[in-house]
Chains A and B, each alone.
Chain A
Amino acid sequence: GAVVSQHPSWVICKSGTSVKIECRSLDFQATTMFWYRQFPKQSLMLMATSNEGSKATYEQGVEKDKFLINHASLTLSTLTVTSAHPEDSSFYICSARQQGVRGTGELFFGEGSRLTVL
Chain B
Amino acid sequence: EDKVVQSPLSLVVHEGDTVTLNCSYEVTNFRSLLWYKQEKKAPTFLFMLTSSGIEKKSGRLSSILDKKELFSILNITATQTGDSAVYLCAVDVQGAQKLVFGQGTRLTINP
Contacts and interface: CB of A to CB of B under 8 A. Distances in A.
B98 A41 contact: no
A93 B42 contact: yes
A6 B43 CA distance: 13
Contacts of A52: none
Contact of A43 (B42, B44, B97, B102): B102
B103 A104 contact: no
Pick from A44, A46, A107, A108 the residue with the most CB of B within 10 Å.
A44
A49 B34 CA distance: 18
Interface residues of A, number: 23
A34 B99 CA distance: 9
Pick from B43, B48, B103, B104 the residue with the most CB of A within 10 Å.
B43
B99 A107 contact: yes
Interface in B85-111: 88, 90, 92, 97-104, 106
Nearest to A46: B98
A23 B34 CA distance: 22
A14 to B, nearest CB: 25
A47 to B, nearest CB: 11
B102 A109 contact: no
B103 A112 contact: no
A43 B41 contact: no
A46 B45 contact: no
A98 B103 CA distance: 26
Contacts of B92: 104
B61 to A, nearest CB: 15
Interface in A81-118: 93, 95, 103-105, 107-112
Interface of A: 1, 6, 32, 34, 36, 41-46, 49, 93, 95, 103-105, 107-112
Q: Which 8 A-B pairs have the closest CB atoms?
A: A109-B42, A105-B48, A104-B92, A43-B101, A44-B101, A43-B103, A112-B42, A111-B41
